[in-house]
């Protein structure tokens, strides 16, 4: 990394903290969660961008009648580089609601700086990375240094509820190229040693098993849905694990997982045989296994149990997300990020996949290799959410190194 850039970032740590605090003060909750959206925060950010001397941000508004001004704004800032190559940092402005206020020790939207941390809703998710990427870019502009790669900053809407008004909206506008280096700093760990390049497919499926409710003294007159549900859960668990034994060491755990999770209450008393049971499975499936094949196994186990027990089994997909193409571990964006992490932290980061979806999948689905990385405490969406100031500073240094390895 350019030493002058590193020094500038370190010298502006206090200003970064102040900016993060101002960001936290502006709620940006989705209208679907009872908020007004990101407009106020976007306008404040546009002002900060200009105060830092960066080019005027471009606005890409998505229409949403439920939001303030009827729009969900997205800000894009571009800093020219010495080459045609382009590196994007994509962070989101929206935050989740505060949740149960009584669990907070402070007002979630009145930031508190204490013991090297900034407390407040959105400080961790995704405020610290937004500020880190902004100040990394500002260092080059303020110092008059033209980075090797063009820097693209995208501050997007609607990440928390699917990205239809955010990343997906920008992809439709054609802002990104297949050879762009895209970093989504919206997931990581406290050490900062993990670069995410892949995701498992996700299938949340809920089953309803219907038999016939009767008094427990006359089971011969009914059909015990509880027993059938127990059999179904055990048989389905075994069948899925047998059908999909593949392993992929990119992931932890390195296999597909099929977990029985939620079970709804049935009858209120002991001496009634239930006539209806509702249960759910959480399936995290390796990219090698098509979800259609998983669903075929589920269908066959269900039909077999219906024939054996006489119950009826129906299902509903609560969530179904097919894994995006894997970003190759030797791709330019991974190499650049790996080297910068190594320079800042002194260790080689791990490259791997995760069990759930991230918004980087939108880029991968569009044929654009993208990675997810951050150094962050595990406090997102929690009461008393906080960002560690040292983490934010480290992230800014990593981002500064990615665009110009020196």
| First-to-final CA distance of the chain | 5
Residue 33 designated active-site: no
Q: Return the H-helix or E-strand segment holding 276.
A: strand 276-285
For residue 286, what are the CA distances in angstroms to 38, 64, 250, 290? 35, 35, 10, 8
> Cβ(213)–Cβ(274) under 8 Å?
yes
* 223 DSSP assignment: B
**Phi-psi category of 403—alpha, beta or left, where left has phi over 0 and alpha has psi -120 to 50?**
alpha
Give Cβ neighbours of residue 168 (< 8 Å, ≥ 6 apart): 162, 362
Place of tokens 């989740």: 96
The CA angle 369-375-377, to the nearest 5 degrees, is 130
Q: Which of 94, 180, 186, 196 is catalytic?
A: 94
Residue 61 designated active-site: no
DSSP 107-152: -TTS-EEETTEEESTTIIIIIHHHHHHHHHHHHHHHHTPPPSSEEE
Q: Which of 64, 159, 180, 404 is catalytic?
A: 159
> Cβ(379)–Cβ(386) under 8 Å?
yes
Residues known to be catalytic: 94, 159
């Amino acid at each position: 990394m350019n030493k002058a850039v590193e020094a500038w970032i370190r010298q502006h740590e206090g200003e970064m903290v102040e900016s993060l605090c101002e960001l936290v003060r502006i709620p940006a909750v989705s209208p679907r969660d009872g908020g007004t959206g990101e407009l106020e925060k976007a306008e404040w950010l546009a002002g900060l961008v200009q105060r830092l001397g960066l080019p005027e941000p471009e606005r890409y508004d998505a229409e949403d009648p439920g939001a303030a001004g009827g729009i969900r704004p997205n800000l894009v800032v571009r800093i020219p580089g010495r080459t045609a190559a382009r590196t994007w940092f994509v962070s989101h402005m929206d935050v989740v609601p505060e949740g149960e206020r009584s669990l907070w020790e402070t007002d979630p939207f009145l930031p508190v700086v204490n013991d090297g941390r900034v407390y407040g809703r959105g400080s961790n998710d995704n405020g610290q990375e937004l500020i880190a990427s902004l100040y990394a870019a500002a260092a080059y502009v303020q110092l008059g240094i033209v980075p090797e790669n063009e820097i693209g900053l995208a501050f997007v809407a609607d990440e928390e509820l699917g990205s239809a008004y955010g990343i997906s909206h920008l992809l439709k506008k054609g802002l990104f190229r297949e050879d762009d280096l895209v970093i989504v700093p919206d997931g990581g760990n406290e050490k900062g040693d993990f670069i995410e390049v892949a995701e498992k497919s996700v299938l949340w499926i809920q089953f309803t098993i219907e038999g016939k409710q009767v008094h427990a003294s006359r089971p011969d007159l009914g059909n015990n849905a509880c027993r059938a549900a127990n059999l179904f859960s055990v048989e389905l668990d075994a069948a899925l694990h047998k059908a999909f034994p593949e392993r992929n060491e990119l992931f932890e755990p390195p296999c597909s997982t099929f977990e029985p999770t939620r079970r709804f209450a049935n009858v209120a008393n002991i001496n009634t045989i239930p006539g209806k049971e509702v249960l759910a499975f959480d399936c995290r499936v390796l990219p090698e296994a098509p979800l259609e094949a998983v669903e075929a196994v589920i269908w066959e186990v269900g039909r077999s149990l219906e024939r054996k027990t006489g119950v009826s089994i129906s299902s509903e997909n609560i969530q179904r997300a097919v894994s995006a193409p894997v970003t190759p571990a030797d791709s330019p964006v991974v190499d650049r990020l790996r080297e910068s992490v190594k320079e800042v932290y002194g260790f080689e980061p791990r490259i791997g996949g995760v069990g759930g979806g991230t918004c980087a999948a939108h880029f991968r689905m569009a044929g654009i290799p993208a990675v997810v990385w951050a150094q962050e405490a595990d406090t997102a969406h929690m009461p008393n959410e906080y960002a560690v100031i040292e983490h934010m500073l480290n992230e800014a240094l990593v981002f500064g190194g990615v665009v110009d390895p020196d």
